[in-house]
Structures are given as C-alpha cells and as structure tokens.
C-alpha cells in the first residue's frame, strides 16, 4: 500500500493517477494496518530501490538525505526496543543488511563495538558480513581514522584485522595501516579489499599494482593499469607485463577478468619501444585467443617472430600437424600440448606478416630467401614439408609491389615459380581465394567477372616477367571466377519468377 501511495503521489499529473482524496484514504488505511513491531514495520526502507520513496518534487540528493535519516531513526528505534540482537535479526530479514550496518554505525554506544568486533569480521553468513561492513564504514565516517586506531586489536587474528581494513575506504591510509598492523601478513588485507583505482594518484596506483601482483590479484592490478592508461599516467611496462603474465595462472574469480582492459594494455605495450620483444611475445601468446577476434590489437610481435625465426615457425607446424615420415611414435597429447597446438593453429591461420618483414615493417628480400631455405631444410627433416609450403603460400598473398613496378615483389614471385613450389602455389591460390571474405552476391556475376579479369592481367604481367608457373596458377584462379560468374547468373535466372 505504501508503494502504491508513493507512486500516485509522485505522478499526480498522470492520467492513471488516483485522485488526491482517494490516496489520502488509502494512506489512512495503511496507517491502521501498519505493524506495531518495528522489525516488521521498517523492512521496506532497507531495499535496493530507494527511488520508491521519492516524494513529489524531491531533489535526488535531498531524497537520499531524507531516506538515510529515516533509516537511522528506524534502527535507533529497533535498537532501543529490541537491543543489538533485534538489529541483527532485522538485518537477516531485509534486502540490504549493509544499509542496516550504516545506520547502526551512527549510534554512539561502545557496547555495540564490543559485541560485533571482532567476532562478526570473519562471519560465514553473507548478511552478517554486509552488516559489519556497513557498520565499520559509518563508524569511520563519523569518527575518522582515530576511531580505527583506538580499537584494541591485540587479541585479533591477522585475518580479522585484514577483514576490518577491507571494510574501510580504499586509500593510502588503509594501506599504511595494513603494513603496520599486519606486518608479515599483509595478504590478509590485499586479498580481500575492494579495489577502487579511480581516485588515486599515479604514485599511489603504482604501489597498489605492485601489492596486488604480490598478493595474487593480477587482474585487479590490470584494472588499475587500465585506469592509468585512460588517465594518461606513467606506467612501468615491466610491471604491466608482470601483471598480464601472472593473470594466466591466477585463482581470481572469472568475473574479475576484464578482457577489454587486457587487450588495451597489450596495445599499450606494443607501442612502447622499451619493451623487450620476447616478453611481449610471451604476453601475446598467453592472450592469443583474445587478440584473435580483437579490433584493438593483434599479435604483431608473434607474427614478426614467425616471419623472421625459421625455428619458431617450424616448431608451430610440428606441434599442430603429424609428420609424414613412417614409423613415427604415437604419443597421446596432454591437455597442455593440446592447448599449445590450438594456439599454434590459430596463429598460423591468422598469420598475415610476410616472411622477411622486419620490425620496421620493411620487406627484406635477402632475409626472405634465407628464411625460406632454412624452413624447407628443417621441415624436410621432420616430415612436414608439404603442409609447411602450403601455409607459406597462403601468407605470400600479402607480398607488396616490387620496386621496379611489378605488382608482386620479384623475390616472392621467384619463390612461387620454382619447380618444387607446387604446394606453395596451391596455398597461394587458396589464400587468395579466401581473402575475398564475406561479400554481397551480384546476381549478374559481374563481381566475379571483374575478379577474373584482374587475375588474367596479373598472370600476363608475371608471365612477361618470366614466372610462367605462377602465371598458370593465376589463370586457374581467373577461370574459377569465370565459372562462378556463370553459375551465379544462371542460378539467379532459375529463381526469377516466371
């Protein structure tokens, strides 16, 4: 009835609003039906829907002040009539026991502290935890840090002190007391506290990040580091890498993982010239699945490593694909090996950095040829040559124009034109076909005809340059698009209404 009354008082101009006289009559009936016991009477004040008690023309801040005052009065009445046990009983019934604790914290009675502290600090019941949390927050708000310091904690366990500190504001004063009071047990505080990085200075956040990493909360540290990037504060890249790498094996709950923050931090590290490339490769490998579908950052250092280190590229190939050599021992892969193989396959499938591309993004023909020769040697020995050549062919579609004007760099064209490069040409053809991606279907087949013409021109250019085997592959692509154009047009004609 009270909800109904408040609703119609707030929206008196609405068409559905009841007349004021009728609302007053309902209000009178509600007053007669109201429970006499304050434990039942005031439960509605401690919900999470404070807006229900808005009065007409109430300013939001004024409304909250009024609501807090009503809550304080209600808890004082319950305490006066039923004692602390009555307040605890009340807290167990309401939606928000934390608000009960806040109101209880305004009552100046030393007996309350002696009863609640420290026995409720490590309570298993979540409602009692919320009650004591609100109580400590309000007590400190009213009486300051002096109140916290004057409590006798000599008989408290480290875990209880940690819980007490975790109920206080997340500020430097709390961190300093953690160090003073807990000495060698600071994890009791840092493992529990709710991290709020939005009101700290650069220096303070650097301290927080270090403490969180040290005490097994790297994802909370990542949250702080992300806020630092948003505020354009100075970040220690080594600290950032430590947090990201520690985040791989953390026992923090899933809800603490912020994928957006992780990708943003990787993007930041990729832009920092002082970062060790090998360390960054470790980070990219650890979060490869996030980067795979991200529009913010890509595993560019891993791709450069693939394109410059033949050993690394061959290792990934060997992890993913079986050897073609006979009498190879069959080993049942462990969960760890399967995870590595999945990462390796994803990286190979998304690979788009041409071998021989340096960190400055410039292509070096000499490095390309050297890389290719070493890869062929290594994969011939391991029995992975055919699949290796296929993958190399796929990435060669990203070859840039030759300095002399040929549409493909001559070093790449020469590699594709070699007599033993048939599998590479097959991979190139597949990669080129798949690079078209998702597209609208032209019912006339015009788009396919245009592609066919482009590949015929490219074939003619490389043939004139002396790469006839590559030209045959390009003409086969052109013929394929010719067939698609005919097929698309004929299918569309069959579907046209007669």
With respect to residue 201, please indicate whether it lies within any of the assigned structural domains.
Answer: yes
Residue 457, pLDDT > 80, answer yes
| Percent of the chain clearing pLDDT 70 (strictly above) | 97
With respect to residue 288, please indicate whether it lies within any of the assigned structural domains.
Answer: yes
Residue 55, pLDDT > 70, answer no
Question: Which stretches of 231-308 are DSSP H helices?
Answer: 237-246, 259-270, 277-286, 288-292, 300-308
- What angle is formed at CA 491 by the lines to CA 489 and CA 492, rounded to 5 degrees? 65
Angle between helix 385-395 and helix 310-320 axes, rounded to 10 deg:
120
Q: How confident is the model at residue 114 (pLDDT cuts 50, 70, 90)?
A: very high
Q: How confident is the model at residue 240 (pLDDT cuts 50, 70, 90)?
A: very high
Check the CA dihedral 34-35-41-44 and report its sign.
negative
Number of domains in the chain: 1
Asked whether the beta carbons of 469 and 425 are under 8 A apart, the reply is yes
Residue 54, pLDDT > 60, answer no
The residue behind tokens 């010239």 is 273
Asked whether the beta carbons of 211 and 239 are under 8 A apart, the reply is no
The answer to whether the peptide bond before residue 118 is cis (omega within 30 degrees of 0) is yes
The pLDDT of residue 161: 97
With respect to residue 96, please indicate whether it lies within any of the assigned structural domains.
Answer: no
With respect to residue 231, please indicate whether it lies within any of the assigned structural domains.
Answer: yes
Residue-number span of the structural domain to which 278 is assigned: 195-298
Asked whether the beta carbons of 382 and 323 are under 8 A apart, the reply is yes
pLDDT tens-digit series, residues 391-432: 999 999 999 999 999 999 999 999 999 999 999 999 999 999
Give phi and psi for 406, each to the nearest 5.
-60, 140
Q: What is the pTM of this model?
A: 0.82
Residue 302, pLDDT > 80, answer yes
Residue 94, pLDDT > 90, answer yes
Looking at residue 46, the DSSP 8-state letter turns out to be: G
**Mean pLDDT for the stretch of residues 173-183:** 96
With respect to residue 213, please indicate whether it lies within any of the assigned structural domains.
Answer: yes
The pLDDT of residue 221: 97
Q: How confident is the model at residue 368 (pLDDT cuts 50, 70, 90)?
A: very high
With respect to residue 256, please indicate whether it lies within any of the assigned structural domains.
Answer: yes
With respect to residue 222, please indicate whether it lies within any of the assigned structural domains.
Answer: yes
Task: Give the separation between CA 176 and CA 186, rounded to whole angstroms.
Answer: 10
Asked whether the beta carbons of 286 and 245 are under 8 A apart, the reply is yes
Please give the mean pLDDT across all residues of the chain: 92
The pLDDT of residue 86: 96
**Residue 485: left (phi > 0), alpha (psi -120 to 50), or beta?**
alpha
Neighbours of 353 (CB within 10 A): 21
With respect to residue 104, please indicate whether it lies within any of the assigned structural domains.
Answer: no
The pLDDT of residue 53: 60
The pLDDT of residue 333: 84
């Amino acid at each position: 009835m009270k909800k109904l009354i408040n609703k119609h008082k707030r929206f008196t101009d609405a068409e559905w609003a009841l007349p004021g006289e009728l609302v007053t009559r309902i209000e009178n009936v509600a007053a007669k039906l109201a429970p006499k016991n304050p434990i039942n009477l005031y439960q509605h004040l401690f919900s999470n829907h404070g807006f229900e008690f808005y009065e007409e023309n109430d300013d939001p801040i004024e409304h909250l002040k009024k609501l807090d005052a009503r809550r304080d009065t209600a808890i004082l009445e319950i305490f006066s009539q039923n004692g602390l046990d009555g307040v605890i009983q009340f807290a167990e019934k309401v939606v928000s026991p934390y608000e009960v604790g806040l109101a209880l914290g305004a009552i100046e009675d030393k007996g309350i502290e002696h009863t609640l502290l420290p026995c409720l600090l490590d309570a298993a019941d979540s409602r009692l935890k919320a009650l004591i949390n609100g109580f400590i927050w309000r007590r400190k708000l009213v009486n300051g840090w002096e109140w916290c310091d004057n409590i006798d904690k000599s008989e408290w366990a480290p875990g209880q002190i940690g819980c007490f500190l975790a109920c206080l504001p997340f500020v430097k004063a709390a961190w300093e007391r953690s160090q003073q009071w807990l000495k060698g047990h600071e994890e009791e505080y840092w493992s529990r506290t709710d991290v709020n990085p939005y009101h700290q200075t650069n220096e303070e956040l650097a301290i927080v990040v270090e403490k969180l990493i040290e005490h097994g909360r790297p994802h909370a540290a990542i949250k702080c580091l992300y806020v630092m990037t948003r505020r354009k504060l100075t970040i220690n890249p080594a600290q950032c890498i430590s947090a990201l790498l520690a985040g791989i094996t953390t026992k923090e709950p899933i809800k603490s993982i912020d994928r957006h923050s992780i990708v943003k931090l990787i993007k930041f590290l990729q832009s920092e010239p002082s970062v060790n490339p090998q360390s960054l490769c470790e980070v990219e490998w650890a979060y490869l699945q996030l980067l795979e579908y991200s529009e913010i950052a890509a595993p560019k250092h891993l791709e450069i490593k693939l394109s410059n280190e033949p050993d690394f590229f061959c290792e990934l190939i060997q992890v993913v694909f079986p050897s073609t050599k006979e009498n190879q021992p069959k080993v049942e892969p462990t969960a760890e090996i399967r995870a590595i193989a999945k990462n390796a396959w994803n990286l190979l499938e998304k690979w788009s950095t041409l071998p021989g591309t340096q960190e400055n993004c410039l292509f070096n023909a000499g490095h390309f040829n050297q890389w290719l020769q070493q890869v062929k040697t290594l994969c011939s020995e391991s029995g992975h040559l055919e699949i290796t050549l296929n993958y190399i062919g796929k990435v060669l579609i990203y070859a840039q124009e030759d300095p002399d004007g040929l549409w493909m760099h001559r070093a790449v064209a020469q590699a594709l034109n070699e007599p033993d490069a048939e599998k590479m040409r097959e991979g190139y053809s597949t990669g080129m076909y798949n690079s078209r991606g998702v597209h609208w279907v032209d019912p006339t087949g015009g788009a396919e005809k245009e592609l066919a013409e482009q590949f015929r021109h490219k074939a003619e250019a490389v043939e004139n340059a002396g790469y006839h085997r590559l030209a045959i592959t390009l003409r086969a692509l052109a013929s394929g698009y010719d067939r698609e154009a005919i097929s698309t047009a004929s299918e569309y004609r069959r579907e046209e209404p007669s």
